[in-house]
Amino acid sequence: MIEREVTVTNRAGLHTRPASMIVRKASQFRSEFFIQKDGYEINGKSIIGVMTLAAEHGATLILQFDGEDEIEAADALALLFEDGFGEEK
C-alpha cells in the first residue's frame, strides 16, 4: 500500500470534468484506490465519491493505492493533479 499527498492545482477545483478524469484513469489500474480529505475517505473509482469530496482549489488530498500496480497507478493519478487536469491553474 502506498500513499501520495496531492494538491488541487486547477482553479475550478474537482468539478465534473476532473472528477470524470480521475475515475477513468483510476479504472485503468487493478489497484484499489481511495482518496482522503479532512479525515473523510471515498472510493476513488467512484464518480459519486469523487464528486462528494467537493475539493476546491488549494485543497490537500491523500491518495491511497493498494494492489499489484499501485506504483504505476499512483504516478498516473499524481500526474493528473500536477497538470491541473489540463485546466487553468
Partner 1 sequence: MISTNLISSALERGIAVSPGIAIGPAFLFAKVSFDVEKISIDSKVLKNELSRFEDAVRRAERDLNKIISITREKLGEHSATIFEAQLLMLRDQSLYPEVVDLIEKSSVNAGYAVQTVMTKHRRLMEASDSEYLRERANDLLDIQERIIRHLRRGRILSAVDENSIVISENLTAADIILFSRKGILGCVTDFGGPTSHVSIMARALHVPAIVSTHGITNVVKPGDLIILDGIKGEVLVNPDEATLAHYVSKQERYSRLVQEDKTLVPLPAETLDGHHVGLQANLELREELVQLAEYGAEGIGLYRTEMALLMEGRALVTETEQFTHYLEVVEAARPNTTTFRILDLGGDKMLPMGNREHNPFLGWRGIRIMLDKMELLVPNLRAMLRASAFGPVRILLPMVSSIREVRSFREIMQNTMLDLKAEGIDFDPNVPMGVMVEVPSVALAADQFARETDFFSIGTNDLTQYVLAVDRGNDLVAHLYDEMHPAVLQLIQMTTTAAKAAGIPVSLCGELATNLRAVPVLLGLGVDTFSASPIYLPGIKRVIRAMKMSEGQALAKKALIASDPAEFRAVMDKWLDEHACGVSFFLEGKQTA
Annotated catalytic residue: which of 15, 25, 37, 57?
15
Q: Which stretch binds partner 1 (CB under 8 A): 1-9, 38-46, 60-68, 74-82?
A: 38-46
Q: Which stretch binds partner 1 (CB under 8 A): 1-9, 53-61, 68-76?
A: 53-61
The reply on whether position 43 binds partner 1 by CB under 8 A is yes
Q: What is the DSSP string of 16-67?
A: HHHHHHHHHHHTTSSSEEEEEETTEEEETT-HHHHHHH-PPTT-EEEEEEES
Of 26, 25, 22, 42, nearest to 34 by C-alpha is: 42
Residue 84 contacts residue 66 (beta carbons within 8 Å) = no
Mind telling me the catalytic residues?
A: 15
User: Residues interacting with partner 1, by CB under 8 A?
Assistant: 11-13, 15-17, 19-20, 23-24, 43, 45-49, 51-52, 54, 56-57, 87-88
